[in-house]
Amino acid sequence: AQSVTQPDIHITVSEGASLELRCNYSYGATPYLFWYVQSPGQGLQLLLKYFSGDTLVQGIKGFEAEFKRSQSSFNLRKPSVHWSDAAEYFCAVGAGGYNKLIFGAGTRLAVHP
């Protein structure tokens, strides 16, 4: 069965530090992969997506993610974190029919000044 694992429940970084959020997926075919961000009390906003082609994808707000098939991973990165990046981040894989998305449990990011 398809699944998404985000190993880190909480991460704390200092403002200006680099960030990497981990995501591992389980899916037999070539996956459609997504990262979403959710600020408190808000819905999910699409940060970036991978369908095919270049394995390093750029997203909004300075985020990027790299698809590594050999590791079944799609880690999210940002070179310099801003205080406004504090939020919860969800990795998702498109799986099965009717446009179903399978979400990970999320990683909550805290940013220290």
Partner 1 sequence: ETGVTQTPRHLVMGMTNKKSLKCEQHLGHNAMYWYKQSAKKPLELMFVYNFKEQTENNSVPSRFSPECPNSSHLFLHLHTLQPEDSALYLCASSQEQQGPYEQYFGPGTRLTVT
Sites of contact with partner 1 (CB under 8 A):
32, 34, 36, 41-46, 49, 51, 90, 94, 97-101, 103-106
Q: What is the closest distance, in whole angstroms, from the C-beta atom of residue 22 to partner 1 in the complex?
A: 16
Q: What is the closest distance, in whole angstroms, from the C-beta atom of residue 110 to partner 1 in the complex?
A: 17
Q: Which is nearer to partner 1, 22 or 49 (CB)?
A: 49
Q: Which of 109, 25, 31 is nearest to 72 (CA)?
A: 25
d(CA 93, CA 91): 7
Going 64 to 83 to 23 to 73, the CA torsion angle's sign is positive
Q: Which is nearer to partner 1, 55 or 80 (CB)?
A: 55
Q: What is the closest distance, in whole angstroms, from the C-beta atom of residue 15 to partner 1 in the complex?
A: 26
The number of beta carbons lying within 10 Å of the beta carbon of residue 89 is 24
Residue type, 80: S
